[in-house]
Amino acid sequence: MDGLILVDKPQNFTSHDIVLRIRNILNIKKVGHYGTLDPLATGLMLLALGKATRFFPFFSTTDKVYEGLIRLGFSTDTYDSAGKPTSSEEKNYPQKDSLLKAMKKFEGEIQQLPPPYSAKKYKGKPLYALVREKKEFELRPSKVFIHFFQLIKYNPPLLEFKAKCSSGTYIRSLAHDLGEGLGCRAHLSELTRTDVGNFNIKESRSIEEIKGLADAGKIDEFLIPFESLLPEFPKIILKERGSVLVKNGNLVSPENIQKVILDESSSADISPEGEEVFRMFSLEGKFLALAKKVPEKNCFHPFLVIDSKEAEQ
């Protein structure tokens, strides 16, 4: 079984819990997720099955959109409501104008420190493990990009927000740092991930729904087929000889290509110039590889061969 499943993760489940549940429901071993959600958080998770796990570099680095609540007044050791308070409560909440200005400062490229309780690693060990072992370590900032950090509703001490950010952004840190900037402390109270790249939570299914459909033999109602993944990349249809070349990771020249399809309604001349990444398919419709253009040699290089056995068919 190969493809992608969009899961609506409930609260108090780890991302690994969700992977285990899907493995058990579908009775398959090769399952992975494209982006961790904290136990406190709910929302969209992308789970890859079988050969789709090979696409981790593409799905895991896409932008995410979150909606949630930030509680002003005090900070916690985990930067969210699951942690212990680390400051006395401040009730001098900012005016809406001051809050909007403070939130605006986080938009764009910023340097962000991860929460002490996080899976971020320091010398090969996750930070949360070092905290529990009471070992000293140095938090190192990472460069992230916040496309927008919007105020939806403000009813002190709670503020409802929506944020779009790059992969690797910690919304817990965003909440904590906002409180520090305002001088009133803050922590993340609730969080839902609504979007991962072009996928939206409205397209997702709960674990219970997935189990019910799987038991009824209706897997096609929640599984996004492997052959339809990464539609943003142009599609190369290979001739039989081209499929054999791809199997061994060899360069593919235009004479071994049947056609190039830029989208569902048009095709292009056979040329390695233009798009950076291409999907390579056999004449039978099998997704064989991802390739990059090599303009100086007038050919394509398959840099990620999905399944060499299929290239022989």
| Residues labelled as active-site residues | 38
The one-letter amino acid code at 11 reads Q
Which residues does 144 contact at the CB level (< 8 Å), separation at least 6?
Answer: 109, 110, 111, 112, 165, 166, 168, 169
Cα angle value 144/148/153 (rounded, 5°): 130
- For 217, residues 6+ apart whose C-beta sits below 8 A from its C-beta are none
186, with CB counted inside 10 A (0-12, 13-18, 19+), is buried
Which helix (H) or strand (E) is 24 found in, with range?
Answer: helix 15-26
CB 305 within 8 A of CB 247: yes
DSSP string, 131-185: HHTT-------EEEEEEEEEEEEEETTEEEEEEEE-TT--HHHHHHHHHHHHTS-
> Beta strand pairing status for 3-9 and 42-49?
antiparallel
Closest CA to 191 of 63, 38, 68: 68
